[in-house]
Amino acid sequence: MTAVHLPLIRMNNHKKPNILLVDDEVHALKVLSAILGESHYNVCCADGVDKAKEILARERIDTVVTDIKMPGKDGLYLFHSIKSEYPNIPVIFLTAFGTLDSAVMAMSEGAFFYFVKPPDYVKLKGILAKAVEQKKLKDEVNRLRSQIESTYGLSSIIGKSPGMKDVFRMVEAVKNSSISVLIGGETGTGKDVLAKAIHYSSQRHLRPFVAVNCAAIPHELLEAELFGHEKGSFTGAIARRIGKFEEANAGTLFLDEIGELSLPLQAKLLRAIQEKEVERIGGSKKIKTDFRLIASTNCQLDKEVAAKRFRVDLYYRLNVVQINLPPLRERRKDIPLLVAHFIDKFSERENKEVTEVSSEVMNIFLDYSWPGNLRELENVIERALVLARQRCIGVRDIPDYLMKDTENDSTACEHTVKPLKQLELETITHTIKACNGNKSKAARVLGITRKVIYSRLKEIDQPSVN
């Protein structure tokens, strides 16, 4: 093919859509590029498929308008190449009557539109605008999917300690299964983050992830929250409501702190899991729902079963696969990685150039027991970054109780043998004191409810902190 000089409007303004025209007729390229250039498009031209592929590899193209019949590789070849390598780019065909059947066939395979030469330029502009908008929407969907994966996928979980490597292996083994998963771990270890990671790395990642905190919703309202209700089924039911089981259809239902469920609700939950169907309050119709169940607990459910506070049949139905998140005091090698992650996170949000912690602060972090686990570390870094006046977080930027804890305990090992209830109490009392006795604020910091705070203090026979 003889080389020719083609009109080219350089694509230096990324606010304008970028259109690639492909035709072996140079005159046709000049006419169409001039028309589209007047319509606020950046236009690039190619007189053949090979030239078009070079431009596609080099430039950000929003839509391709191509002739079908060209010497050598034709427009259909280019279409299939774009469909394989750049599936988000819409392709519009220009065709003579002799290749009309080919254009119609390409439409059935995903081409955006076709015009018979010479095209109606007004209509072409309208179709081109729709193609550009479709490309924009597809790019935004891909961006959001990538953002979700980086935020909630396995890559969002930080850790290289042996305990976390075991967690990753378990997640890889079960992520694409429909099997029920029970996540265990102390308060603040990131059970909700792990549940999202399992969902967003699974085959259900494009479907809903529906989370319910069983400890945060009053028992009398939780049944309606999970199963929904019909209009008029009880006082205040002014309209029909879809429950969380139905919302999670084809996706994942995450029941956080499932040990807080009442025994009657446990029985109804068991039936829903076994039958994969629910019945709204006040209704008689059984509704099928295909959900994948993930549950979490910070208590030992086997002991709850022994105490007859949790149904044994539901326990075995939930505990098909159990993944236990280790507390932060057992994964001290991960603390520097987590600190760096939280600094990056909050530096961007607060628009501050804080990049590191001092070696003295890091030693304090490594020696501290972290009864509040990841949530406590995150809160400490958030506070320190807001207070920091330099690029490096110093001792004066962190709470005093971190240093007192280190001074009062001869070794970090002493913390690892404390009972779970005692560690929970320490976390709650530390937080309430840090919040000047404001239990509502302490509950928000810990990610629990006031009811749970009072419940935990009562369980271990300790007076509430004023």
Closest CA to 68 of 58, 77, 80, 81: 77
pLDDT band at residue 421 using 50, 70 and 90 as cut-offs: low
Higher pLDDT, 1 or 182: 182
Mean pLDDT across the chain: 85
pLDDT band at residue 420 using 50, 70 and 90 as cut-offs: low
**Cβ–Cβ under 8 Å, residues 109 and 83:** yes
Q: What is the pTM of this model?
A: 0.64
> 153-324: what fold?
Rossmann fold (3.40.50)
Instruction: Write out pLDDT tens, residues 184-211.
Output: 999 999 999 999 999 998 999 889 999 9
CATH 3.40.50.2300 residue spans of the chain: 18-147
pLDDT at 13: 46
CATH 3.40.50.300 residue spans of the chain: 153-324
Instruction: Write out pLDDT tens, residues 12-58.
Output: 445 789 999 999 888 888 888 888 888 788 899 999 999 999 999 99
455-300-408-158 Cα dihedral, nearest 10 degrees? -110
CATH 1.10.8.60 residue spans of the chain: 328-459
pLDDT at 40: 82
pLDDT band at residue 422 using 50, 70 and 90 as cut-offs: low
pLDDT band at residue 249 using 50, 70 and 90 as cut-offs: very high
Give mean pLDDT, residues 88-93. 93
Give mean pLDDT, residues 92-110. 78
pLDDT at 413: 42
**Per mean pLDDT, which range of 83-97, 324-338, 354-368, 407-421 is the poorest?**
407-421
Residue 303 has pLDDT above 80, yes or no: yes
b (16+ CB within 10 A) / e for 78-90: bbeebeeeeeebb
Tokens describing residue 366: 């490594």
**Cβ–Cβ under 8 Å, residues 249 and 276:** no
pLDDT at 427: 76
b (16+ CB within 10 A) / e for 344-366: eebbeeeeeebeebeeebeebbe
State how beta strands 286-288 and 277-279 pair: antiparallel
Tokens describing residue 234: 């009880």
* CA pseudo-torsion sign 402, 408, 410, 412: negative
Q: Taking the mean position of all CA atoms in its chain, how far away is CA 146? A: 9
b (16+ CB within 10 A) / e for 368-405: bbbbbbbbbbbbbbbbbbeebeeeebeeebbeebbbeb
pLDDT at 463: 45
pLDDT at 220: 82
Residue 6 has pLDDT above 60, yes or no: no
pLDDT at 94: 86
**Cβ–Cβ under 8 Å, residues 1 and 47:** yes
Tell me which CATH code domain 328-459 carries.
Answer: 1.10.8.60
* CA pseudo-torsion sign 244, 247, 253, 256: negative
pLDDT at 38: 81
pLDDT at 199: 94
Residue 439 has pLDDT above 80, yes or no: no
Phi, psi of 330 (to 5 degrees): -100, 5
> 18-147: what fold?
Rossmann fold (3.40.50)
Instruction: Write out pLDDT tens, residues 253-293.
Output: 999 999 999 999 999 999 999 999 999 988 889 999 999 99
Tokens describing residue 240: 């029909």
pLDDT band at residue 407 using 50, 70 and 90 as cut-offs: low
Distance CA 288, CA 266 (A): 19
